[in-house]
Structure 1
């Protein structure tokens, strides 16, 4: 009897994230993230795992309550608890704010999941272009 080798597990989809270059000048937006859905508990772990190590351990994330319908109080990512906050004010409905104690704050533009690829690419590129 012969056995066939096990099929490899499919790779998770690539993280759709672009970060602005660090140029020493404060920026209103540090990058752009294009999630595949509005399911924050499903999308956020991949984002946090894909961030630069220099950003430190993100312990708090704030999202727009108008954009993300289900926001639990916390999620577990890489054996760490990340607190989630839902901002009720619509001051920045298309951003996510990441905080790492002692490291800093990063604001990412959130490109809506249903955005066409060409449009999403243009929005992400514009978000990370150096200020001019």
Structure 2
């Protein structure tokens, strides 16, 4: 995962994430643990269902709190919204798990450049 610095946020995409599998509920615990440092408690994840296997409507994390999972076919393919309880939001570009190492690394680096921070969905 790669995120824009908090002070530089303000564009559409806040970072990129390259999960290791297509199982959202398997991949989320580690991602949400990292993002909760910036967002506080996370209550909802809105994700593009095209990139994941069938996913339940919610998942329970190791700490016992439940996170709502909402599929939504985004116009900007493979986008994910991670919503904190205090109206904070991080928008990630999700790099498919099947992407080769070189291409994924390039996409991670490109996701947090000044040009990408101002990119809007098509």
TM over 0.5: yes
- TM-score w.r.t. the length of structure 2 is 0.85
Instruction: Name stretches of at least 5 consecutive residues in structure 1 with no aligned partner.
Output: 1-16
Between Structure 1 and Structure 2, the one with more helix by share is: 2
Q: In structure 1, what is the Cα distance between the partners aligned to 2:107 and 2:74?
A: 20
Q: In structure 1, what is the Cα distance between the partners aligned to 2:87 and 2:43?
A: 11
Q: How many residues align?
A: 115
Q: In structure 2, what is the Cα distance between the partners aligned to 1:98 and 1:108?
A: 8
Alignment root-mean-square deviation, CA = 1.7
Q: How does 1:47-66 map to 2 (within 5 A)?
A: 47-51=31-35, 53-66=37-50
Higher gyration radius (CA): 1
Which ranges of 4 or more aligned residues in structure 1 deviate by more than 4 Å? Answer: none
Instruction: Name stretches of at least 5 consecutive residues in structure 2 with no aligned partner.
Output: none
